């Protein structure tokens, strides 16, 4: 592993073999790519990552927007790991890699002879990260779809309206939490590499999502009661919810007594601040229904943006609820330069870049999402001799 250039990106010089598909694994390796790692994405010949076939496509190109959103900054190599020649080629690649990340079903890499214990015979310094649905236990072999782990983890039970059914959060948080944990664990293993050398990392979607319950887990464990499903409302704070305006929805977050007083000023209802039913947050939670009934017709009188201006002037937390098209028209998002254009099959498409900023190093992708097998020849030519390359390309078993 070569040291990172202090003037470059944090993970410059780190080479990652990416044996992932769908969402959790590709998200993890895309984060590593944004931090400067060289990501070699291993894909099945002629098929590639499953998401390459998931629409819609970008403009007039054949590039899947799903695939593009998770695979920028990577290089694509077609390699059939289920064949003897493909497995041997991968082993040669692993001999000079720093990290392997995989999210196949548990046992798949072992079946191909490419588990951690197999690869450490050619590279003792290898960091090997496996993303799966569950740690060892009775559910270890369950198919790890985001919907399944969300259902089992409790996250769906706390999402939705109080009088409605459980709902799946609009973002695949089971996949994303596992991807973020995987990237964090890989960076941690690289940080302690000088002390511990190579090691195996196991990242579960289910247990990871349970850890995201945080305060909801704390409340449940303290009381023994399930955390309530309350839509946009909060069980311990009021007013803390979305209100309908005359042109959309507006989210209000009053979390302290000082904010409550400023809120009453922003909505021009000073009498509410003097009402004994709403004097403290405990009072407001107790009289939540009366307070909500008093505020709903008020918020319906103005637009969401008008309320946003009033709240901003009074330093009260609140904002319009944007849809996913409106957010990319947001002036602040443009000013923060989190989106950038990369060419996808000849079509320019804004992509959401790494959001954090460092004072001394750069982040973000400089390479467009790869075409299937785009870098096969280049990568294999560097790692294999002529006979091995011929065997791989001929599909030898």
- The model's pTM is 0.92
Strand partners of residue 41: 18, 76
| pLDDT tens digits for range 294-347 | 999 999 999 999 999 999 999 999 999 999 999 999 999 989 988 887 776 667
Known catalytic residue at 348: no
Write out pLDDT tens, residues 16-75.
999 999 999 999 999 999 999 999 999 999 999 999 999 999 888 888 999 999 999 999
How do residues 58-98 score in pLDDT, each as one tens digit?
Answer: 888 888 999 999 999 999 999 999 999 999 999 999 999 99
Q: Active site residue: 18, 175, 381, 394, which one?
A: 175
In angstroms, how far is CA 185 from the centroid of its own chain? 14
Question: Are 21 and 50 contacting, i.e. CB atoms less than 8 angstroms apart?
Answer: yes
Backbone φ, ψ for residue 128 (5° rounding): -125, 110
Rounded Cα distance between 353 and 365, Å, is: 7
What DSSP designation does 229 have? P
Largest interatomic CA distance in the chain = 85
Parallel, antiparallel or unpaired: strands 127-132 and 199-204:
parallel
């Amino acid at each position: 592993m070569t040291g990172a250039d202090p003037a470059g990106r944090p993970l410059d010089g780190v080479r990652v073999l990416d044996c992932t598909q769908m969402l959790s694994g590709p998200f993890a390796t895309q984060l590593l790519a944004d931090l400067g790692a060289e990501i070699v994405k291993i894909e099945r010949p002629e098929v590639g990552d499953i998401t390459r076939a998931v629409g819609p496509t970008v403009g007039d190109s054949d590039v899947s927007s799903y695939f593009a959103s998770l695979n920028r900054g990577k290089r694509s190599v077609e390699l059939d790991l289920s064949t003897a020649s493909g497995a041997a080629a991968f082993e040669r690649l692993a001999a000079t890699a720093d990290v392997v990340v995989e999210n196949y079903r548990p046992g798949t890499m072992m079946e191909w002879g490419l588990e951690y214990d197999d690869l450490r015979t050619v590279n003792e310094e290898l960091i090997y990260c496996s993303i799966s649905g569950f740690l060892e236990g009775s559910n270890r072999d369950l198919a790890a779809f985001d919907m399944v782990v969300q259902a089992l983890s409790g996250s769906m039970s706390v999402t939705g309206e109080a009088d409605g059914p459980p709902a799946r959060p609009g973002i695949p948080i089971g996949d994303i939490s596992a991807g973020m944990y995987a990237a964090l664990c890989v960076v941690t293993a690289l940080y302690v590499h000088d002390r511990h050398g190579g090691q195996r990392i196991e990242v579960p979607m289910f247990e990871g999502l349970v850890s995201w319950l945080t305060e909801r887990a704390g409340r449940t464990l303290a009381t023994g009661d399930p955390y309530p499903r309350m839509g946009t409302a909060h069980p311990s704070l009021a007013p803390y919810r979305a209100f309908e305006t005359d042109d959309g929805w507006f989210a209000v977050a009053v979390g302290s007594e000082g904010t409550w007083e400023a809120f009453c000023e922003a909505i021009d209802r000073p009498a509410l601040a003097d009402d004994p039913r709403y004097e403290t947050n405990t009072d407001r939670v107790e009289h939540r229904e009366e307070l909500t009934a008093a505020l709903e017709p008020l918020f319906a009188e103005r637009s969401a943006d008008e309320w946003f201006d009033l709240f901003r002037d009074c330093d009260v937390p609140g904002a319009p609820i944007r849809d996913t098209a409106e957010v990319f028209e947001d002036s602040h998002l443009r000013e923060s330069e989190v989106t950038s254009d990369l060419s996808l099959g000849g079509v320019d498409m804004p992509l959401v870049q790494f959001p954090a900023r460092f004072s001394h190093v750069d982040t973000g992708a400089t390479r467009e999402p790869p075409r299937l097998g785009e870098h096969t020849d280049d990568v294999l030519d560097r790692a294999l001799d002529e006979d091995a390359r011929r065997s791989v390309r001929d599909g030898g078993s």
